[in-house]
Structure 1
Amino acid sequence: MKIETLPLASSRPLSTRRRWRTPAIALLVVALAGGGWYAVQGRSAPPPDAAAAKKAEKPTVFELARNDVVTVEARELALRLPLSGSLAPLAQATVKSKVSGVVLSTTVREGVNVAAGQVIARLDDADARARMAQQAALLKEANARLALANKNEANSQALLKQNYISQNSFDTTRNSVELAQAAVDAARAQFDLARIALNDTTIRAPLSGVVSKRFVQAGEKLSPDSPVMAIVDLQHLTLDAQVPASDIPRVQVGQEVSFKVDGFDKRAFSGKVARINPATEPGSRSMLVYISVANDDGLLRAGMFAKGEITTEKSATRPIVPLAALRKDGARDVVYRVDGGKVVAQPVQLGMRNNDEGMAEVLGGVEAGAVLLAVPLDGVKPGSAVKLAQASSSAAAPVTTAAPAKKG
C-alpha cells in the first residue's frame, strides 16, 4: 500500500490576519484618545454663544493717562499785552559852569555815585573874590553917602519948622536922600552878584545819581555854559515802550508791567504805567507808553533793552479751566467731570478768557480740586466708566478694561 504525504498548510493566510489587526488597534487607540480630549474640553469651555453673552454683560472702562485729565486750580487770571522798549533815566542833567575860570580840581569820575549838593569840581576863585571885595567897598561908600543925606534931611526939616529955609530947599535935601538910598540898593545888588559868582566857582551836583560823563580836566579854562559833568539818576527809570495804536484803549495809567532785560534772563522786573503819549510815532502806527520803574538795587542801566507784558485786566481768585476742556451742549458751556469712576457733563458759567494762556475763568459750576477731562477723547462721553492710570488695580471694578482712550 502506498502512503502519500499531504503538503503542509501555507503560512500566508496567517500573516494576512496579523497585518490588519495592528492598524485596527492603533486606530482604536487614537479614537479613544480624541474622544477623551473632546470630552474634557467640552466641559471646561462654555459654548461660544454663552461666552459672548457673558462678555457683553461687562461694561467697558476707559483708562485715562495723566495728560488726559486736569485738576482744577483756583488762582488769578490775567490778560496781558506784550511790549518792548529801552530804559531811560527819569532825571538826568548835564552840569555846566556858570562863570569863567580855570579848573582847579574835579572830585569825581565816571561811574561814581554823587549826592545832591556834593562838590564835583572847583574853579580858580581869585578874580571872583577880588570883584566881591570891590563891590563890598562900593556898597560901604553908598551907605556913607546915605547916612550923610539922612543927616542933612534932619537938619533941613528943623530949619523948615523955624521958617529959616523954604519948602523947595527942603525938598531938594529929601531928594538927595532918595538918590543915596537908590545908590545903596544898586551897590548891594552888585555885591550880591559878586558873591554868587564866587559861590559858582564851586560846582555842585544838582541831583543824586551816577556820573556818566566827565567833560573837563584840571587846568582847563572854562567859559560860562561850558559842560562839566553829566549825571543820571538810576534810582528811578522809565521804560519807553511802543504799543500798537489799536491796543492803546486797553492801556491805562497805573497798570502793572513785568519785564525782563538782556543779561538778567532769570530775574523779572516790575513797573507801572505812568504816562501815555497822545500822538503816534512818526513812520509807525505805535504810541509810546512810559512805564515807571523803581531801581532801588541799581542793577538796571540806562539804554538797556527790555521785553515784557502789561497786565491790562485781572480777575479775582477763582477756579480756572483749560479752554480745550470746554464742550458745548446746545447754548451751554459744559465740562466733562470725572466723578466716582464715571464721566459727568457739568454745566459751567465762564468769565474772563485768556486765549494766549489757553485758560478760562469759572464763575460757577466747578470748584477747585475737581478732575476734568483735559481734551476730547474718542468714545468717552457722559456716563462712560473711566479710571485713572495712577489708581491701584485693587480699587478698580472687576470688569473688562478697554485699551487706553485715544485723543480725538
Structure 2
Amino acid sequence: MKIISAQSLKGLTNLKTKKSLWLALVVALALMGGVGYWYQKQSSNQGTQVQIQQAQVQRGDILVGLDSDGTIDFSKVSLRFHVRGSIAEILVDEGEQVNKGDIIARLDDKNYQDQYQLAVAKLQEAQEQETTSLLDNELTIKKADADLEKLRDEYKEMEAIPEAYSANELKLKKLELANKETEFKNLQQKYELQKARGLDQNELQVNMAKEDLEDTILYAPISGVVLDFAKKVGESLTDEEDFATIHEDNTIKAITNVIEYDIGQIKVGQKVYVTVEAIPDKKFTGEVTKINALPTQGSNGLVNYSVEITIKDLGSELKDGMTCAVSFVIKEVKDCLMVPYQAVKMVQGKQVVTVLDEKGQQAEKQIKTGFTDGTNVEVVEGLRGNETVVYQRASTAKTTSTRSATTPQANSNQMIFRSR
C-alpha cells in the first residue's frame, strides 16, 4: 500500500480542481456557440421565407411613366360691365351653353339713356350755332373782300396819276392796302380752321354717352358654358367687378409642376393619364400642350417647371380646382398578356414559367416575353391567357427606413411602374 502525504494530497486536490475548471470552460463555450448558431438560424428563417404564389395569366396595360401631383384648371374668361349700375335682367342660367355674341345680362340703362339724349341735344344746338357762325363769317369775308377790291382800285388810280398825290399819301395808301390784305387772309384762315375743326368736343360727348349706353348690355365674347354669376337681379356693381365667368369651349386642363431633374423627359404632345381624388376609379386621357420655359422655385429650394396638360375625354364630373394625379407616359403596351415578372425564370438560356394543368399538376412552359415595368411582364408567345402560373416568391422581413424630406430624391417625381 502506497502512503500519500498530506502535502501530496493537497497538490492532487488542486490539480483536479484546475482540470474541472478547464472542462467547465470548454462546455460553456460550446453551449454559447450552439445558442448563437441557433439564434442566427432562427433570425435567418424569420428574415427570408419562401412563399409559393399563384397568379392568373391576364390581359391588361403595362405602363412606365412619371408621376406628379396637379390641379384641374378650367379655361375661364371673366366678364364685367364697363359701367356702373344695377342688374336689370339676366338672360341665361348658370351651366347654360352660350355662343359668342349672345346677350348675357343687362343693366338698368335709364340714366345712360338720359345722358345720351342730353349729349345729342347739345350736339344739335352746337351744330345750329356753328352753322350760324359760319354764315356770319362768310358774310364778313365777303365784305372784307369787297373792301379789299375797292382799296386796290383806289391805289391803282393813285399810282396812275402820281403827280396828283404826295409821296406820303401814296405810302399810306399802300400800307393800308397791305394791312387790308393781311386782315382778309386771316379771316379766310380762321374760317377754314372753324370748318375743319367742326364739333369735335360735342361729337366726342355723344360718342362717349353712346358707348356707355351700349355697355349696359353684356355680350358673350366667346362660346362656352356659364359657370357662375357674382350678382343677382337688382343688385349693384361697379365697372371694376367681375360679373360672370364662362368656361371657354369646355376646355379642361391639368396643371402640374415638374422638377428640373425630370423635365427633360417631358415633351409637348406626350400622352398623359390624369386621375382625380374625387373620382378614383376613372382615368382621363390627355396630352402635354405647354411647358413653361420660366422656372419657379418651391419652398424646398428645388427648381420646378409648370406643365400644362389638355384633357381629351372630358367628363362633367370634373370640377375646376380639383386635386389630381398626373402620369406622363414614357412607354406603354396596351391589352397584352402578362404575368408577374417573378414567375419567369431562365432554364438553359430559355424563358420558362411553371403552369398548373387541368389536374392541378405543375408543368413548365417555354415563353417569349416583351416589355416589363418591373412588376409585370408582357408575354408575346407561349401562353393563351387562361392559365395559372406558379412561382416562388421570397418574402423578406420588413425593415423601416427613413429619408430626409429635404433631399432632392425625396421631393423628385419618381419613376413609377404601373399596370392596369
TM-score normalised by the chain length of structure 2: 0.55
Give the direction of change, closer, same or farther, for the CA distance of 1:359–1:142 in structure 2 (3 Å limit).
farther
- Give 5+ residue unaligned stretches, structure 2: 1-51, 150-179, 355-362, 393-420
Asked if structure 2 preserves the Cα contact closer than 8 Å seen for 1:258 and 1:271, the reply is yes
Within a 5 Å distance, the mapping from 1:247-396 to structure 2 comes to 247-277=262-292, 278-284=294-300, 285=302, 286-294=304-312, 296=314, 298-313=316-331, 323-324=341-342, 325=344, 327=346, 334-336=350-352, 354-355=373-374, 357-359=375-377, 368-370=380-382
Deviation of the 1:192 alpha carbon: 1.4
Shift of residue 115, structure 1, vs aligned partner:
3.5
Corresponding residue number in structure 2 for 1:215: 230
SS in 2 for 1:217: coil
Structure (1/2) with the larger helix percentage: 2
- In 2, the alpha carbon distance for the partners of 1:114 and 1:69 equals 52
Corresponding residue for 2:120? 136
Q: Residue 336 and residue 289 in structure 1: after superposition, are their counterparts in 2 closer, same or farther (change >3 A)?
A: same
Letter in 2 for 1:88: D
- Aligned to 1:194, the other structure's residue is in SS state helix
What amino acid is the match of 2:90?
Answer: T
Partner deviation per Cα, 1:238-276 (whole Å, 9 max, x = no partner) = 111233432221111110112223454443211111222
Amino acid corresponding to residue 107 of structure 2 in structure 1? L
Specify the code of the residue in structure 2 equivalent to 1:173. Q
State the shift of 1:309 in Å: 1.5
CA contact (8 A) 1:128 1:198 kept: yes
Q: How many residues align?
A: 296
SS, match of residue 267 in structure 1: strand
Question: 1:163, CA displacement in angstroms?
Answer: 6.2
CA contact (8 A) 1:146 1:180 kept: no
Aligned mates of 1:312, 1:154 — CA distance in 2: 88
Residues 151 and 283 of structure 1, relative CA distance in 2, 3 Å threshold: same
**2:125 matched to 1:107?**
no
Q: Secondary structure at the match of 1:166?
A: helix
Code of the residue aligned with 1:116 in structure 2: it is K
Aligned match of 1:97: 81
> What is the SS of the residue equivalent to 1:219?
coil
CA pair 313-150 structure 1, distance change in 2 beyond 3 A: farther
Q: Deviations over 1:22-60 (max 9, x none)?
A: xxxxxxxxxxxxxxxxxxxxxxxxxxxxxxxxxxxxxxx
Match among 190, 198, 203 for residue 218 of structure 2: 203
Of 84, 87, 90, the residue aligned with 2:72 is: 87
* Whole-angstrom CA distance in 2 between matches of 1:113 and 1:153: 61
Shift of 1:132: 1.4
From 180, 193, 198, the equivalent of 1:178 is 193
Q: Distance in 2 between matches of 1:328 and 1:151?
A: 117
| Alpha carbons 2:87, 2:232 under 8 Å: kept | yes
For residue 246 of structure 1, give the secondary structure of its aligned residue in structure 2: coil
Give distance in 2, aligned partners of 1:169 and 1:98.
50
Letter in 2 for 1:279: P
Q: Find the structure with the greater CA-based Rg.
A: 1
Q: RMSD of the TM alignment (CA)?
A: 4.6
Shift of 1:291: 0.8
Q: Secondary structure at the match of 2:106?
A: strand
Match of 2:165 in 1: none
1:171–1:296 Cα change, 3 Å = farther
Task: Go from structure 1 to structure 2 and tell me whether the alpha carbon gap of 1:161 and 1:67 turns closer, same or farther (over 3 Å shift).
Answer: farther
Supply the distance in 2 between the matched residues of 1:370 and 1:91 (Cα, whole angstroms): 53
Question: Paired residue for 1:23?
Answer: none
CA distance 1:182–1:134, change in 2 (3 Å):
farther
1:57 matched residue in structure 2: none
Q: What is the CA deviation profile of residues 321-342 of structure 1, one whole-angstrom value per residue up to 9, with x for unaligned ones?
A: 975436498xxx753499xxx9
Query: Quick check: 2:225–2:247 contact (8 Å CA) kept in 1?
Result: yes
Distance 1:327 1:172, change over 3 A: farther
Residues 1:116 and 2:100 aligned together: yes
Q: Are 1:153 and 1:170, in contact at CA under 8 Å, matched by a contact in 2?
A: no
Task: Work out which structure has the larger RCO, using CA pairs closer than 8 Å and 6 or more positions apart in sequence.
Answer: 2
Identity of aligned residues (%): 21
CA distance in 2, matches of 1:153, 1:353: 97
2:205 paired residue number:
190
Residue type of the partner of 2:197? A
Task: Report the residue type matching 1:283 in the other structure.
Answer: S
- Aligned residue identity for 2:201: A
1:295-348 Cα offsets, whole Å, 9 max, x none, are: 65534221222224211245899999975436498xxx753499xxx98999x9
How far off is 1:167 after superposition? Answer: 5.3
8 Å contact kept, 1:257–1:310? yes
How far the C-alpha of 1:374 sits from its partner, in A, is 7.4
Q: Are residues 184 and 70 of structure 1, via their aligned partners in 2, closer, same or farther at CA, if it must alter by over 3 Å?
A: same
C-alpha contact (below 8 Å) 1:116/1:206 kept by paired residues: yes
Distance 1:337 1:282, change over 3 A: closer
